[in-house]
């Protein structure tokens, strides 16, 4: 990547951190770099959490991508997301779903096949270039608890699109356990969308699952508030070489 692009990526990281460091208020972040316009917001409930023990939460977030000069944004190739050490996943006793088991299925059928493994839902959007002009696609997203890997747990992202032809995506996302300030890293490698003619323009998710195992109530995602900040770090690589990298901080209140 050229020095100019490196500089722009570093500036963008500072912008993201400055915008997101404010308490969650419903205001979304807006950043621009090269020809990419990114809008994002995220939050969790409840915002008051124990200081030392983990309590169940539900996470919600969205991201929108566009091209500043019109048309579609460059294709997003890879996303690395690091999650704060004060967040925790619980998968003990939770059913799993493999990509192969839902790779040929639509949304309703996949949710029926792996209904016990659902840990989140949402939507994806894509812009598609075609001889008829720019088309838009919106599809339901399902997040399944995936198989255990050598690096840690995983999730399977499932969506069924129909433009320019029906296509199913069942993407395995490894979640690696880390040491230090972050506890997990999710690694998402995106395949070509719409037979190579599409680019991701939107994603929204709601993640949270309560279940019982061995007589105990469990939560797929939990958090504590040891230092009044829950931090997420993202690293995004686009097909044109642009890199967006930065930390997002959300305040929490301890009890």
Tokens of 210: 């309560």
How far from chain centre, in Å, is Cα 18?
Answer: 20
At which residue do the structure tokens 């296509």 appear?
Answer: 167
User: What residues does 243 pair with on adjacent strands?
Assistant: 237
In which residue ranges of the chain is pLDDT below 70?
Answer: 1-28
pLDDT tens for 73-117 read: 999 999 999 999 999 999 999 999 999 999 999 999 999 999 999
pLDDT of residue 61: 85
pLDDT of residue 33: 86
pLDDT of residue 27: 56
pLDDT of residue 177: 94
Asked if residues 124 and 139 have their Cβ atoms less than 8 Å apart, the reply is yes
Q: How many helices (H) and strands (E) does the chain have?
A: 3, 19
pLDDT of residue 10: 44
pLDDT of residue 75: 93
Query: What Cα–Cα distance (Å) separates residue 80 from each residue in 53, 176, 255?
Result: 27, 11, 31
Query: What Cα–Cα distance (Å) separates residue 38 from each residue in 45, 47, 67, 105, 111?
Result: 24, 25, 9, 31, 30
State pTM to two decimals. 0.87
Measured distance CA(45)–CA(207) in Å, rounded: 11
- Nearest one of 157, 161, 158, 209 to 187, comparing CA atoms: 157
Sign of CA dihedral 91, 92, 95, 98: positive
Count Cβ atoms below 10 Å from residue 184 Cβ, excluding itself: 19
């Amino acid at each position: 990547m050229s020095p100019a692009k490196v500089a722009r990526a570093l500036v963008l990281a500072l912008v993201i951190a400055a915008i997101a460091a404010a308490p969650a208020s419903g205001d979304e972040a807006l950043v621009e770099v090269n020809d990419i316009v990114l809008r994002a917001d995220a939050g969790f409930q409840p915002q008051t959490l124990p200081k030392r023990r983990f309590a169940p939460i539900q996470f919600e977030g969205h991201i929108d991508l566009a091209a500043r000069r019109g048309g579609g944004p460059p294709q997003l190739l890879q996303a690395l997301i690091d999650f704060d050490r004060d967040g925790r996943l619980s998968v003990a006793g939770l059913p799993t779903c493999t990509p192969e088991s839902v790779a040929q299925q639509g949304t309703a059928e996949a949710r029926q096949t792996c209904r016990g493994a659902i840990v989140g839902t949402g939507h994806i959007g894509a812009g598609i270039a075609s001889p008829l002009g720019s088309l838009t696609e919106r599809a339901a997203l399902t997040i399944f608890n995936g198989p255990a890997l050598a690096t840690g747990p995983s999730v399977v992202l499932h969506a069924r699109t129909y433009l320019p032809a029906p296509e199913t995506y069942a993407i395995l996302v490894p979640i690696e356990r880390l040491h230090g300030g972050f506890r997990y890293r999710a690694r998402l490698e995106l395949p070509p969308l719409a037979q190579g003619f599409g680019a991701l323009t939107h994603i929204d998710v709601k993640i949270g699952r309560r279940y019982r195992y061995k007589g105990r109530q469990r939560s797929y995602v939990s958090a504590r508030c040891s230092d009044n900040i829950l931090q997420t770090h993202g690293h995004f690589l686009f097909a044109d070489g642009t890199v967006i990298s930065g930390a997002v901080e959300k305040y929490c209140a301890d009890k």
